[in-house]
């Protein structure tokens, strides 16, 4: 991929301490950006910061505490960032959880919808004032192949009427895509320069692939490493979405290989459910209601 200069620019990567988030953060640092790793585990964040500094020679890597499953933590992060930065060029909504047992966020939302979607909806809304005043800024939201075949069950967002882990994961990743597209529509309707894009890593070997709280067995890791692409490749759609100058906003970027599982980044057509404007609008309204966040596009 062609190297682009991000010197003088600032990027936030949620979950930037591991997997595709770490690889994207490394790429941004290598291009000269000041990178903020928004992470739940500060110890792992500091280890990632040291690794990025060592590999890229870029010292402008910052670690900030951030819990996607806690609206108060997200608000504190946004306030702290706005106190110390007057611009934001790239926001990568990358962190997430995949198929845990039924559990809730600190605010009582089902964990996957609450973290993967509502957490990033909140963060983006709080950082919108900085994004709006930064020329050429971008929001990149990481979705998944799991959005295909998914739907938003507005009558069971809290899982009180039943829970299937992978179904709720697919719902949260479809919500990511619907949010990215609806955000871009709002930005364009208000003639703002900021653009919103979505991407997915294909099927990438990251630490999402765990069994409960334990790492997967070694034989399984060896097997998956042969059929899955490494995080460095999985991060390419994120990097492409964040830096490619030809993108206009609203695009969905994924690997160009068979089944969109592996390969190099290209514009991809999402599942039809991700194009439903009625669902987009309803999800947006519900998200504002649940989080108490209202976007100011003026």
Q: What pLDDT digit, counting tens, does each position of 73-100 carry?
A: 999 999 999 999 999 999 999 999 999 9
Q: Which CATH code for domain 10-291?
A: 3.40.50.720
Q: How many helices (H) and strands (E) does the chain have?
A: 10, 10
Whether the CB-CB separation of 10 and 33 falls below 8 Å is answered with: yes
Active-site positions? 169
Which pTM does this prediction carry? 0.93
Q: What pLDDT is recorded for position 213?
A: 44
Residue 266 has pLDDT above 60, yes or no: yes
Candidates 155, 169, 29, 32; CA nearest to 111 is: 169
Q: For the chain, list the strands marked E by DSSP.
A: 10-14, 34-39, 61-65, 90-93, 138-142, 195-199, 210-211, 214-215, 252-255, 265-267
Which tokens sit at 256?
Answer: 């160009």
Alpha helices in 57-136 (DSSP H): 71-84, 111-112, 120-132
Q: What pLDDT digit, counting tens, does each position of 45-54 carry?
A: 999 999 999 9
Which tokens sit at 48?
Answer: 């990632």
Chain Cα centroid distance, residue 226: 25
Q: What pLDDT digit, counting tens, does each position of 195-250 carry?
A: 999 999 998 765 444 434 445 556 555 555 566 788 899 999 999 999 999 999 99
Q: What pLDDT digit, counting tens, does each position of 59-72 carry?
A: 999 999 999 999 99
Q: What pLDDT digit, counting tens, does each position of 151-195 carry?
A: 999 999 999 999 999 999 999 999 999 999 999 999 999 999 999
Which tokens sit at 39?
Answer: 């992470």
């Amino acid at each position: 991929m062609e190297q682009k200069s991000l010197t003088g620019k600032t990027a936030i990567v949620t979950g930037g301490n591991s997997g595709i988030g770490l690889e994207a953060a490394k790429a941004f640092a290598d291009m000269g950006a000041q990178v903020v790793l928004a992470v739940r585990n500060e110890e792992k964040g500091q280890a990632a910061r040291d690794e990025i500094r060592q590999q890229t020679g870029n010292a402008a890597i910052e670690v900030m505490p951030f819990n996607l499953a806690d609206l108060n933590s997200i608000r504190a992060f946004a306030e702290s960032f706005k106190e110390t930065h007057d611009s934001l060029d790239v926001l990568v909504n990358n962190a997430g959880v995949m198929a845990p047992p039924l559990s809730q966020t600190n605010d009582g939302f089902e964990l996957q919808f609450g973290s993967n979607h509502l957490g990033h909806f909140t963060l983006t809304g709080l950082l919108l004032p900085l994004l709006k005043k930064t020329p050429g800024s971008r929001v990149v939201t990481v979705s998944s192949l799991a959005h295909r075949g998914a739907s938003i069950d507005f009558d069971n967002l809290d899982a009180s009427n039943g829970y299937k882990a992978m179904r709720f994961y697919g719902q949260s990743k479809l919500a990511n895509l619907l949010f990215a597209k609806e955000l871009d529509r709002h930005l364009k309707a208000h003639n703002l320069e900021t653009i919103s894009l979505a991407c997915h890593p294909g099927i990438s070997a990251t630490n999402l692939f765990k069994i409960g709280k334990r790492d997967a067995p070694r034989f399984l890791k060896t097997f998956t490493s042969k059929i899955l692409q490494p995080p460095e490749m999985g991060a390419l759609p994120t990097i492409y979405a964040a830096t490619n100058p030809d993108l206009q906003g609203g695009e969905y970027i994924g690997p160009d290989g068979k089944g969109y599982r592996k390969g190099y980044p290209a514009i991809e057509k999402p599942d039809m459910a991700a194009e439903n404007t009625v669902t987009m609008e309803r999800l947006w309204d519900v998200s504002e209601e649940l989080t108490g966040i209202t976007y100011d596009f003026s």
